[in-house]
Structure 1
Amino acid sequence: MDLKHVCLLILLAVFVSGCSSSRSTDYQGDPIKAFDSSAVETVEDLFYGFLIKDYLYWKGTPYRLGGNSKKGIDCSALVQNIFKNSFKINIPRTTNSQVKLGKYVDRDDLQVSDLVFFKTGWQVRHVGIYMGDNEFLHASVSKGVMISSLDNVYWKSKYWQSRRLID
């Protein structure tokens, strides 16, 4: 999907849904408090609104390797579903394929909707979607779909790379 189509999608979403957001920096980990629907100021605010909507739908869904439903979902299927449903972008099913998409992004330059990848084992990879403010949405093996901090000791030590699919 090119930039023109993404912009049209954004405009359509704003006019049809009336969705708007403004993120607060003091929500202390509660994404619902961060989404106050007062005004869309940036594309990142709009993308954040899409991701919060997805988070509310998937929140608490248990992790299941190979899963792709509310009964259980794995990290790459969650990312694939969100990109298809919210951004109308079809991406591959596996983490190994997703990490080859888009362009490399330094951790210091992350934007809302960038993919963040982790090496959690010798050949095991994990993926999530950056939410802003050092937070990412993902399917946790232990807690299901949730939002975590990139500054968490575990995730910080496992961080591998980030990719931007929407430019």
Structure 2
Amino acid sequence: MSISPTSNFFFVSASRDLSGLPARLEPVSSFSPSFTDCSALCRYDTVPLQQADAFPQYDSRNIRMASVRRFNKVKSSFLVLIVAFWPGLAFSDSSLDSLLNPPAAEQSYSNEIQNALLAHYSNWAGTRHKLGGTGTNGVDCSSFIQTLFQDKFQLRLPRSSREQMTMGERVDLSDLRSGDLLFFRTGPTRRHVGVYVGDNQFMHVSTRAGVEIAKLFSPYWQRHFITARRVGLAGITPSN
């Protein structure tokens, strides 16, 4: 697929940020792009972008989908961006592919982390929840995460979920990667932690089901979500 000088000058990107888009974009205010909420994509519904005045210094290198989502109050974590190019601007198949698809090395590493997480899950699935527990006869959420990161990534995390919540850097839900920590408020003083696996799912210790993989964007977890943190997994070779 390529965009020729006679095209309608539209390009659809599933990218979660605009950092890879070309700099020569038509100014936002002149063509009113729209953002499609993927939960409604099958109905071809769209969520129009509000006035571009919110981004007066539009720059494809630093505007992020997270900002667009917050400003437009779009709840879905995935957006399809429709962008118009300047007339006469053409792109080759390879340049479009580089925008639509992550680098092979980056994707491969993400898959390695996901495989390591799932390998750990296969050994712990169904293990019952036990407050203060640290083993396969009963484990709590923070101990499970601590053991996972020690066994699979040789990374020592603090014991409690409150301490774990101070590790790494904050990331937006729209920018999650496998291995990111997810934190929830499950009571006035209680904090719950899980780890993002991928495909909108996370692994954690449920008080009812024990160690399980759950849907991150279920109403319950969305309601209790606090923050996501990315700890230093870059460059670490996971152990499967």
Give the Cα separation in 2 of the matches to 1:101 and 1:50.
20
Give the Cα separation in 1 of the matches to 2:223 and 2:110.
26
Which position in structure 1 is the counterpart of 2:197?
A: 131
- Aligned match of 2:215 in 149, 153, 157? 149
Which position in structure 1 is the counterpart of 2:152?
A: 86
1:42 shift after superposition: 1.4
Give the Cα separation in 2 of the matches to 1:150 and 1:60.
18
TM (norm. structure 2) is 0.52
TM (norm. structure 1) is 0.75
Richer in helix (by share): 1
Cα 1:72–1:97 change in 2 (3 A) is: same
Unaligned runs of 5+ in 1: 1-39
Which position in structure 2 is the counterpart of 1:52?
A: 118
- Aligned match of 2:170 in 77, 88, 104? 104
Which position in structure 1 is the counterpart of 2:187?
A: 121
State the superposition RMSD in angstroms.
1.2
1:58 shift after superposition: 0.5
Aligned residue for 1:100, secondary structure, equals: coil
Aligned residue for 1:49, secondary structure, equals: helix
1:41 shift after superposition: 4.9
Give the Cα separation in 1 of the matches to 2:173 and 2:196.
10
**Count of residue correspondences:** 128
Aligned residue for 1:112, secondary structure, equals: coil
- Aligned match of 2:133 in 57, 63, 67? 67
Q: Which has the larger radius of gyration?
A: 2
1:151 shift after superposition: 1.2
Unaligned runs of 5+ in 2: 1-105, 235-240
Q: Percent identity between the aligned chains?
A: 38
